[in-house]
Amino acid sequence: MDELNSAIIEQLQTDARQSNRELARTLGIAPSTCLERVRSLTRRGVIRGYHADIDLAALNRGVQALVAVQVRPLSRAVIDDFKDSVGRMEEVVTVFVLAGGDDFILHVAVQDLDRLHSFVVDRLSKRREIVSFRTSVIYQRAHNTALAPLPDTSEPS
């Protein structure tokens, strides 16, 4: 990952809708060079897609929570089945599979606290493989929208 690729990634994270010509102009490179770099980053899987950043409250999902879940028995089949089935639930935004005390974190977004309570009590608690869960309501969210590559420290300096 050289400086130009890093700059391309930074610019696309800031505005993925800009044209190749605008991106090239911002970076001070030829459009053909820019296009080839973006294509290369996409082929290598560095750029996985372009997405709209949607306000969940505008979708009537004003209450968000993180639900930490433990399942048993811990087997690949149980983990894969749980991940796939909860990932299809309309309330679930993201499923994280973890190592450590919890096996999963579910990021859920619902209309209100009653719906959150209903989701946890009526849907999650009825699943046989769940042995425990904890729910944390999200008050605010801040995230870094433009990530830069970290230096490769695998080689000795």
Express each pLDDT in 70-87 by its tens digit: 999 999 999 999 999 999
| Rounded Cα gap, residues 98 and 86, in angstroms | 15
What integer best gives the mean pLDDT of the chain? 94
Going by pLDDT thresholds of 50, 70 and 90, the confidence category of residue 156 is low
Lowest mean pLDDT among 18-27, 112-121, 128-137, 139-148: 139-148
pLDDT at 37 over 80: yes
Residue-range domain boundaries for the chain: 3-43, 56-138
pLDDT at 157 over 70: no
pLDDT at 5: 95
CATH topology of domain 3-43: Arc Repressor Mutant, subunit A (1.10.10)
Tell me: the pLDDT tens digits for 86-115? 999 999 999 999 999 999 999 999 999 999
pLDDT at 27 over 60: yes
Percent of the chain with pLDDT over 90: 85
The class of domain 56-138 in CATH terms is: alpha beta
